C-alpha cells in the first residue's frame, strides 16, 4: 500500500479523536451554541465560545462519531447547509465581539443528499467563503483528520492552515479520483499518490503553514502529546495575529489565497 493511502486510512479511522475531544483538551469553559436560526441544528457541526489562556475565542468544527449511532446522528461528519449556516452565524458573532476563530476540520465532504441540495448546499458553502475572506478577526484552521472537497474548504479560508501528521486535504476522495480519471476503482493507491494530499505534500506546495506531530503509537492513544503542540502553536500565532492591524490581516489573508491562481509554467520549472 502506498504511503499516501496509509495516511488516508489513518485520517478516516473511527477511533480518531473528534473535534469535541480536542476542544475538551485545549480550551476552558466551552459553551456550545446551537442552530442556524433558519431551519434546524445540524449536529455534524459543533461550535461555541471558550476560553484559551484567559482569552475568549470562538471554536467551531466538524464532528464525527466513534459508533454507528453517533455517526448517524452526526451525518458521518458531512454537514448539511444548516451546519455551514450555523458556522457562519458563530463566525459573524465572533467578529462582532472581537473573538479569534479556531476551526477544526474532519470531513469527507458536505452532505450529498437531495434535501441538502434543495436547501442550498452550494450557496451555503460559497457564502461562508465570501464572508470568511472579510472577517476582521484572526482565523486559524486545523485539519485533525480527513479534509474533502468544498465541505472542508468552507472551514479552511483562514489566516493560517495547519494539519496533523496523518491528516489529508483534497478536492475529492482517492476513490472518486480513480473512478473519474481511469473509470476504475482499482487504482486508488496510485490516485492517492498523484493527488499530493498528505501534510508533507501540502506544506511543500504552500497550501498549509504547519504540520502538527502525532505520537507514533497513535493519536487516539496519546492525544495530549499532540494537543500540547497545538496549544503552544496557537498561543504564539494568536499573539501575532491579534496584534496585527485589521487592514494588514485582511490583505495577508487575501494574498495567501490569491497566490494559488498565480503560478506560471516558469514557477513550476523553477521549483524543479
**Residue 73: partners with Cβ closer than 8 Å, 6 or more residues away:** 43, 65
Query: What is the SS3 assignment for 111?
Result: coil
Check whether 260 has a pLDDT greater than 80.
Answer: no
The residue written with cell numbers 465572533 in the block is 94
Band the pLDDT of 261: cuts 50, 70, 90.
low
* Beta-ladder partners of 60: 47, 103
Q: Which residues, at least 6 apart from 136, have a Cβ–Cβ distance to it below 8 Å?
A: 95, 246, 249, 250
CA dihedral angle for residue 250, residue 58, residue 61, residue 249, rounded to 10 degrees = 10
Cα-Cα end-to-end distance for the chain: 27
pLDDT digit string, tens, across residues 114-151: 999 999 999 999 999 999 999 999 999 999 999 998 89
The yes or no reply on domain 3-271 and CATH 1.10.10.10 is no
Q: What is the DSSP letter of 18?
A: P
Please tell me the pTM assigned to this model.
0.92
* Residues 212 and 17: beta-carbon distance below 8 Å: no
pLDDT digits (tens, 9 = 90+) for 67-105: 999 999 999 999 999 999 999 999 999 999 999 999 999
For residue 76, give the nearest of 65, 87, 60 by alpha carbon. 65
pLDDT recorded at residue 184? 87
Amino acid at each position: 500500500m502506498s504511503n499516501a493511502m496509509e495516511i488516508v486510512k489513518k485520517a478516516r479511522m473511527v477511533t480518531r479523536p473528534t473535534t469535541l475531544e480536542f476542544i475538551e483538551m485545549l480550551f476552558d469553559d466551552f459553551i456550545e451554541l446551537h442552530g442556524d436560526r433558519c431551519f434546524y441544528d445540524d449536529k455534524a457541526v459543533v461550535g461555541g465560545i471558550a476560553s484559551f489562556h484567559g482569552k475568549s475565542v470562538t471554536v467551531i468544527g466538524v464532528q464525527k462519531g466513534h459508533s454507528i449511532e453517533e455517526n448517524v446522528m452526526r451525518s458521518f461528519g458531512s454537514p448539511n447547509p444548516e451546519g455551514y449556516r450555523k458556522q457562519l452565524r458563530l463566525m459573524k458573532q465572533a467578529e462582532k465581539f472581537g473573538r479569534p476563530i479556531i476551526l477544526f476540520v474532519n470531513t469527507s465532504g458536505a452532505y450529498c443528499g437531495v434535501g441538502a441540495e434543495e436547501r442550498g448546499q452550494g450557496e451555503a458553502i460559497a457564502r461562508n467563503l465570501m464572508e470568511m475572506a472579510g472577517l476582521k478577526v484572526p482565523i486559524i484552521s486545523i485539519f485533525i483528520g480527513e479534509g474533502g472537497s468544498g465541505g472542508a474548504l468552507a472551514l479552511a479560508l483562514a489566516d493560517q492552515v495547519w494539519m496533523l501528521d496523518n491528516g489529508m486535504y483534497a478536492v475529492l476522495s482517492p476513490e472518486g479520483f480513480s473512478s473519474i480519471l481511469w473509470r476504475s476503482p482499482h487504482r486508488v493507491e496510485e490516485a492517492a499518490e498523484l493527488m499530493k494530499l498528505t501534510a508533507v505534500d501540502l506544506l511543500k506546495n504552500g497550501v498549509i503553514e504547519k504540520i502538527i506531530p502525532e505520537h507514533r503509537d497513535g493519536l487516539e492513544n496519546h492525544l495530549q502529546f499532540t494537543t500540547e503542540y497545538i496549544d503552544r502553536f496557537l498561543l504564539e500565532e494568536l499573539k501575532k495575529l491579534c496584534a496585527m492591524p485589521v487592514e494588514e490581516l485582511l490583505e495577508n489573508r487575501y494574498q495567501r489565497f490569491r497566490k494559488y491562481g498565480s503560478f506560471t509554467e516558469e514557477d513550476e520549472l523553477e521549483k524543479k
